[in-house]
Amino acid sequence: MIIETIFSTLDASGRPNFAPMGVLWGEEEVIVRPFRSTHTCRNLLATGYGVANVTDDVLAFVQSALDDVVLPHFPAISVPGVVFQGACYWRELAVVAAAETAERAEVRCRVVGRGWQRDFLGFCRARSAVIEATILATRLHLHDRETVLEELRRYGKIVRKTGNDAERVAFERVAEFVRRWLSDRGG
């Protein structure tokens, strides 16, 4: 099963990187499939360590997807890395094998540490819509303008109908990102 996480890695200088990442979840092994061009991929392959943070904080998903932000964090225990402060629970990972294709790497990681801060609240329809809108915003180059706008309208309707202020703020950040991207391209 693919679980949406905020994946954290460190670069060579020790600066944290946070990125939304769907990972193939297992209790003893996690498989990460980052795009090869990303900081996550470069850091994970260079250092051999990462942390899969499970959270219900949708604004953190939006920020880490659309901005180069260092989220609040604390040191991991079992690996050189950091844990997102808003994580409900997490897995500290060590790379055991990596294969690369033209577009992605497939990185098998062994779970070497784990932690828990609170129960995972889960995703209501509004939180799920924000996550899907965020994924769309990271892949705008793959869709035509009308498809993007239609999807954004659909997700916005769900957020307005079922969300609270946190989901509305997170969605508005995504919508503004999409509007700027379309405007920069003459849309």
Instruction: Supply φ then ψ for residue 25, to 5 degrees.
Output: -85, 135
CA angle 176, 70, 159 (to 5 degrees): 35
Residue 187 reports pLDDT greater than 70: no
Distance CA 126, CA 21 (A): 19
Distance CA 54, CA 58 (A): 11
Which domains are assigned to the chain?
Answer: 2-116 (2.30.110.10), 125-184 (1.20.58)
Mean predicted confidence (pLDDT) in 87-107: 95
Distance CA 98, CA 64 (A): 24
pLDDT band at 77 (very low <50, low <70, confident <90, very high): very high
Residue 94 reports pLDDT greater than 90: yes
- Average pLDDT of the chain is 96
Instruction: Supply φ then ψ for residue 120, to 5 degrees.
Output: -80, 120
pLDDT tens across 141-153, in order?
999 999 999 999 9
Residue 14 reports pLDDT greater than 90: yes
- DSSP secondary structure string, 97-118? EEEE-SSBEEEEEEEEEEEESS
pLDDT tens across 25-75, in order?
999 999 999 999 999 999 999 999 999 999 999 999 999 999 999 999 999
